[in-house]
Amino acid sequence: MEKMPFRDAEQEIVDVHAAMATAQRVTTSDWRQSLPVLTGEMVTLRELRLSDAPALLSMLSTEEVSRFISPPPTTVEGYERFIAWTHRERAAGNYICFAVVPHNMDTAIGIFQVRQLEPGFGSAEWGFAMASAFWGSGVFMDAATLIVDFSFEIVGARRLEARAATANGRGNGALRKIGATQEGILRRSFLRDGEYLDQILWTLLADDWRQARSGFSETIH
């Protein structure tokens, strides 16, 4: 969750439109060519667009949101470079980034990311950042269910890891709510504002998730 790859992407000097066009020409599987649109009860998850850059700058740069993630871009152009980077990394099969778009809106209010920890996404790490105005609204659970289903059923991951600073009560509560298991404490593992913070390691396994989802479906039918 915390180690969002904003900084490295913002430092790159690229022709944003050319980079995105190149990424879109690489075809090795369906999701590598283009992310599908995932629709929940409250939100749609879709590929990031350059037009999302101003909204992401506004939504994710507040102190409440940014205090527990790697420093986000500080300009619209920085977010455009980040968005172009997500397209290239998706086309290379290394990384996935979805925009979170509420049904009554057109632009992103947050992102969900999945990156491979081993070739082929057998083990992967997922993270998220979302505008504070939508905290506690049910948007997280709706979007998180979509991204976990996608990671296990489409991408083929067997294990998803997430890391949250011990001081990040809301983030840890969200991971607990989605059904993640706390596996341990990663001591002094996250550098933020010159200070190393402890993180909690959370995991979801594909078999456990499918069993939980099956039980949930039975209770609502």
Give the fold, CATH level 3, of 6-220.
Aminopeptidase (3.40.630)
Q: Is the pLDDT of residue 22 over 50?
A: no
With bands split at pLDDT 50, 70 and 90, how would you rate the model's confidence at 3? low
DSSP string of the chain, one letter each residue: ----THHHHHH----HHHHHHHHHH--SSHHHH-PPPEE-SSEEEEE--GGGHHHHHHHH-SHHHHTTSSPPPSSHHHHHHHHHHHHHHHHTTSEEEEEEEETT-SS-SEEEEEEESSGGGSEEEEEEEE-GGGTTTTHHHHHHHHHHHIIIIII--SEEEEEEETT-HHHHHHHHHTT-EEEEEEEEEEEETTEEEEEEEEEEEHHHHHHHHHHHHHHH-
| Better pLDDT: 219 or 212 | 212
CA 33 to CA 181: how far, in whole Å?
A: 32
pLDDT of residue 70: 85
Q: Is the pLDDT of residue 132 over 90?
A: yes
Choose among 134, 16, 14: nearest CA to 65: 134
% of the chain exceeding 70 in pLDDT = 84
Mean pLDDT for 58-65 is: 94
Token representation of residue 79: 């977010």
With bands split at pLDDT 50, 70 and 90, how would you rate the model's confidence at 214? confident
For residue range 155-205, list pLDDT tens digits in order. Answer: 999 999 999 999 999 999 999 999 999 999 999 999 888 899 999 999 999
The CA-based dihedral angle spanning residues 31, 91, 151, 111, taken in that order and rounded to the nearest 10 degrees:
-110
| Better pLDDT: 216 or 119 | 119
pLDDT of residue 186: 96
With bands split at pLDDT 50, 70 and 90, how would you rate the model's confidence at 25? very low
Q: Is the pLDDT of residue 54 over 70?
A: yes
pTM of the full predicted structure? 0.86
Q: Is the pLDDT of residue 219 over 90?
A: no
Q: Is the pLDDT of residue 135 over 90?
A: yes
| Better pLDDT: 12 or 26 | 12
Q: What is the mean pLDDT of the chain?
A: 88
Q: Is the pLDDT of residue 68 over 60?
A: yes
pLDDT of residue 9: 55
pLDDT of residue 187: 96
Contact 206, 155 (CB under 8 A): no
pLDDT of residue 30: 84
